[in-house]
Amino acid sequence: MIRRRSIGILLLLPALLLGGCGRTADSTAADGKPQLHQDVPPHGGTPVALGDDYNLELVRDPAAGTLSGYVLDDEMEEFIRSSSPAVTLELTVGGEPRELVLAAVANQATGETVGDTSLFQGQADWLKAAGNFTGKVRLITIRGTPFADVSFVFPAGAAKE
């Protein structure tokens, strides 16, 4: 009798442990109040929604004068590879039009190559001093779907120029 009960508990234990691992749309905080799932850019950048399924997270490094673009899923949790060799941005910085090309970046560690990568990066000295700016993603193709003329404000939440 004890052995049967022990076996039953051992069989039930993994189901109980794994059952709590699924993510739901909301959860309860320690104070008992429900909290909604929020999509947070993993690099602290500005998310640019590409349709309903993808995001391009833009991250500026002012010291280096670079702007990186990470292609992510709709919840900004998974990196998504793009076949685009580059992403061209049309920007308005301080009232002046500018163009910035973010080139595809290969990564040996992940096996990503130009034409099959989730990271794009561009460099310009004016990015070192750029504050808020508006822009448009001219074109990027993700899993065979082109996304063109997608407007954004950088950083997220900044007022349009």
Tens of pLDDT, residues 18-47 = 443 334 444 445 555 554 445 787 888 999
Q: Which structure tokens are listed for 30?
A: 């320690």
Rg (CA), the chain: 22
Q: Which residue has the tokens 């993993």?
A: 42
Distance from C-alpha of 70 to C-alpha of 119, rounded to nearest angstrom:
5
Q: Which structure tokens are listed for 68?
A: 């990186």
Q: Which structure tokens are listed for 8?
A: 């039953």
pLDDT of 19 reads 42
pLDDT of 33 reads 57
Q: Which structure tokens are listed for 130?
A: 């750029």
For the segment 74-91, the average pLDDT, to the nearest whole number, is 96
Q: What is the CATH number of domain 38-154?
A: 2.60.40
Distances 71 to 62, 103, 145, 151 between C-alpha atoms, Å: 21, 13, 13, 16
| pLDDT, tens digit, 9 for 90 and up, residues 105-157 | 999 988 999 999 999 999 999 999 988 999 999 999 999 999 999 999 999 87
On whether the CB atoms of residues 45 and 92 are closer than 8 A, the answer is no
